């Protein structure tokens, strides 16, 4: 019998899995054909079906949409409308590009920062500016986080500005958290205190109190060990429990951290998600399934079970573009964005989920330094939305295929509102100088 080559084996595997591929597809897709008006930031309203889009030309668009599971995708270009998707408002909000967008917990106010170093607060329904202030000039903003008490602005210079949420006056400035490297991400450690935060920069993770006096209490910043790989993004799997957080790395690894076990000194386990590509953004599913969505530079979304250490689903956002932004809308649909498009995703149909649960096909693709934290070290994935020809074209990608494991949705809108801050990743735009 003729021995099959590696490529032929991969072809057979992909074709065999073709029958079990989930048909989860986007419910809404907005594209950006103008090269000067590409997408730089996304924020989804916590209680209404509204998307806010920040563009490279300084414009902010607010789109209201109505999509139904099982119906054909609603597809349109920026600036156009359909019966299901309309523009609430649009405005030239900043001179230069829009760096970051974030909503408050109720979704009433939209915060934005541009390359003009101006922070603006607007009514999310009308777009009318309510407040504005000039932040530190000379260094661009990389991250914007809004809580009930404070507004945090992470800077390329490595500083974190702490502003009062009421009048935007500066309450504190924390410097050189990551030895002067740019702030890649900031997220709230709500379980411990309303003033505790985790930041990521270069190859370290830091845990600190935003109210501290930086000149006298520098030693209170808790730094992780050097991870020897850039940490680009992170999130708590469940911010109300606060027992597990995950970080996306530059080499495609998802690291799992346990604050209660070693006070964030080092990662506890690792999950290999996308070989030779980076994990650029993360958002938790908020479905009580121990899962997060990872947006990667290969243009795909990976659903990762952090408890079991395995990829359970894969969706393709774009073939030739990075998946740089992730969020959840008010119905817990995952929202993915690249510079050329933004998509609101539906879920697989029930009969497809039942079919996918009848077969298993996985290969080992993870490692761990704490076996008690992960009951499985297998990598599994599911390519969705691809034709047979596109599946074959994925032969050069190091992805194993398995039907997605499903969870019964457990939506909790109050919990979604408490999350407060946007998980939009904005470090990726810093390479576009002058925008």
pLDDT level of residue 185 (50, 70, 90 thresholds): very high
Q: Looking at residue 36, what is its pLDDT?
A: 86
Q: Looking at residue 393, what is its pLDDT?
A: 59
Mind listing the pLDDT tens digit for each residue in 104-120? 999 999 999 999 999 99
- Structural domain contains residue 60: no
Mind listing the pLDDT tens digit for each residue in 308-333? 999 999 999 999 899 999 999 999 99
Question: Is a pLDDT exceeding 60 seen at residue 404?
Answer: no
- Structural domain contains residue 155: no
Q: Looking at residue 35, what is its pLDDT?
A: 87
Question: Is a pLDDT exceeding 70 seen at residue 291?
Answer: yes
What is the pTM assigned to this prediction?
0.79
- Structural domain contains residue 171: no
Q: Which has the closest alpha carbon to 327: 264, 406, 416?
A: 416
- Structural domain contains residue 223: no
Q: Kindly give the pairing relationship between strand 74-77 and strand 26-31.
A: parallel
Domain CATH code at residue 357: 2.40.10.480
pLDDT level of residue 19 (50, 70, 90 thresholds): very low
- Structural domain contains residue 253: yes
Range of the domain at 394: 1-21+237-316+348-411
Q: Which has the closest alpha carbon to 173: 147, 191, 151, 148?
A: 151
- Structural domain contains residue 207: no
Domain count, the chain: 1
Which H or E run contains 262?
Answer: helix 259-262
User: Using CB atoms within 10 A of its CB, is residue 332 exposed (0-12), middle (13-18) or buried (19+)?
Assistant: middle
- Structural domain contains residue 62: no
* Mean pLDDT taken over the chain: 81
Alpha-carbon span 220 to 208, nearest angstrom: 7
- Structural domain contains residue 396: yes
């Amino acid at each position: 019998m003729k021995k099959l080559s590696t490529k032929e084996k991969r072809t057979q595997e992909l074709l065999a899995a073709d029958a079990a591929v989930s048909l989860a597809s986007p419910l809404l897709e907005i594209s950006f054909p103008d090269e000067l008006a590409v997408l730089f930031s996304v924020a989804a309203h916590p209680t209404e079906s509204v998307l806010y889009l920040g563009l490279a030309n300084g414009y902010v668009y607010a789109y209201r949409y109505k999509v139904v599971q099982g119906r054909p995708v609603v597809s349109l270009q920026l600036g156009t409308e359909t019966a299901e998707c309309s523009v609430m408002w649009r405005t030239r909000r900043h001179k230069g590009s829009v760096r970051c967008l974030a909503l408050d917990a109720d979704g009433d106010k939209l915060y934005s920062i541009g390359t003009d170093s101006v922070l603006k607060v607007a009514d999310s329904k009308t777009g009318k500016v309510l407040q504005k202030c000039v932040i530190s000039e000379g260094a661009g903003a990389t991250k914007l986080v809004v809580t009930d008490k404070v507004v945090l602005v992470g800077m390329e210079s490595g500083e974190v500005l702490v502003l009062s949420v009421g009048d935007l006056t500066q309450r504190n400035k924390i410097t050189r958290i990551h030895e002067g490297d740019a702030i890649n991400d900031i997220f709230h450690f709500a379980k411990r205190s309303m003033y505790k935060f985790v930041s990521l920069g270069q190859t370290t993770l830091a845990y600190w109190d935003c109210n501290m006096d930086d000149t006298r209490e520098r030693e209170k910043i808790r730094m992780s060990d050097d991870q020897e790989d850039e940490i680009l993004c992170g999130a708590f799997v469940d911010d109300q429990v606060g027992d597990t957080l995950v970080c996306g790395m530059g080499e495609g690894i998802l690291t799992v951290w346990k604050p209660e076990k070693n006070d964030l000194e080092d990662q506890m386990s690792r999950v290999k998600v996308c070989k030779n590509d980076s994990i650029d953004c993360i958002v938790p599913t908020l479905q009580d399934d121990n899962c997060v969505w990872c947006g990667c530079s290969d243009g795909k979304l990976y659903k990762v079970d952090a408890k079991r250490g395995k990829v359970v689903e894969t969706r393709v956002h774009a073939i030739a573009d990075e998946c740089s932004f992730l969020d959840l809308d008010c119905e817990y649909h995952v929202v993915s964005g690249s510079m050329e498009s933004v998509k609101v995703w539906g879920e697989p149909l029930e009969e497809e989920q039942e079919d996918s649960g009848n077969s298993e096909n996985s290969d080992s693709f993870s490692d761990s330094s704490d076996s008690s934290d992960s009951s499985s070290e297998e990598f599994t994935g599911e390519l969705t939305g691809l034709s047979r020809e596109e599946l074959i074209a994925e032969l050069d990608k190091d992805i194993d295929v398995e039907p997605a494991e499903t969870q019964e949705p457990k939506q909790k809108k109050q919990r979604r509102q408490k999350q407060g801050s946007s998980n939009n990743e904005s470090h990726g735009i810093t390479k576009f100088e002058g925008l």
